[in-house]
Amino acid sequence: MKLVTIVGARPQFIKAAAVSRVLRRQHQEFLVHTGQHYDENMSEVFFEELHIPRPDQNLGVGSGSHAKQTANMMIGIEEILLEEKPDGLLIYGDTNSTLAGALAASKIHIPVFHIEAGLRSYNKRMPEEQNRILADHSSDLLFCPTETAVENLKREGITKGVYQVGDVMCDAVKYYAEQIEKQDKSYYFNQLRGLFCEVIPSEKWYIATIHRAENTENIQKIREILEAFEELDAPVLFPVHPRTKGIVTQLYQQYNYQNILFIEPVGYSMMLYLVKHALKTITDSGGLQKETYLLDTPCITVREQTEWVETLSGNYNILANPEKNDILSKIFDTRISPEKKLNYYGDGHSSEKICALLSSASN
């Protein structure tokens, strides 16, 4: 088959690294980067580090409102599809790039293949939830990471073309986790770049990522979160998303946090190392919840709900409100139950299963 693949954000680069490595053995792939993540540390570094094939085209849409960003992506993707005339469009996850690809292709009757289909948080205030639902209902083949995702689709009347293949993120974690231990701690810490001060290596640390609008657009919420970090019993390594750099800089200048090491965004191998060896992870990211689960690192998710409900088993992931006392309580008082932790995400060969199903569909 000739396939056009759409990527635009960090999690999609990681998933595409796992799938494209297998896909290109049997199929022709035209890779489109929408430019949704355009900062070098959030985009370029991943293509270099993960050996992802260079994009055949970069739309360079950059930031903007949801409507403007998605519309500009749709215009660019439609032009490519009309030019390339692929047998199908491959999309990942739940970003605006995902939705733009699904809508552009389905409107001109090009089959849509959705990897990581069927996830639901059941909170439609999240733009990702809207993107997931619309993309799933526009897709012809839906590759689900878990049985929960299959059941979610069934409840919405989607049963045709649905396959439980496991999680391609699991493929990536298993593959790259073997590579990161070839270097010691000093190798990784020497590469960290502090935003406000030098990063001094620590024997123990927490790793945190906070970037969602519901946590960062309300200054009281982000203050509460940072105050919790300031009271933890080990330094908090905090890669700062470009979207939150302004508010974080403002608060640092005001409060001069001592226990939080604000650093530039890091690459995938670096993040895996920091997560694997952290005391705990504190995040509002969907993908990082799953990575911490796969790496056996306890996680506190600063959100009201999670689309990765399986990670809650054994308290390896626990939800917290964006309030200092609740975050601290969840970090210090949560008891982990290892016997309840199960392998929900597959055997690390999801990419092969997806490519086999695509080959079957083309025959």
Q: Which residues are catalytic?
A: 211
CA angle, 51 as apex, 50 and 55 as ends, to 5°? 110
Adjacent-strand bridge partners of 92: 115
Q: Is 146 left (phi over 0), alpha (psi -120 to 50) or beta?
A: beta
Query: Phi/psi at 141 (nearest 5 deg)?
Result: -120, 130
Query: Phi/psi at 233 (nearest 5 deg)?
Result: -90, 10
Question: Using CA atoms, how far apart are residues 16 and 19, in angstroms rounded to an integer?
Answer: 5
Adjacent-strand bridge partners of 208: 282
Paired tokens of 80: 């490519």
**Cβ atoms of 120 and 98 closer than 8 Å:** no
**Cβ atoms of 289 and 196 closer than 8 Å:** no
Adjacent-strand bridge partners of 162: 142
Contacts for 278 with CB less than 8 Å, ≥ 6 apart: 205, 206, 207, 237, 297
Give the C-alpha distances (Å, rounded to integers) separating 336 from 2, 8, 312, 320, 341: 46, 35, 10, 15, 9
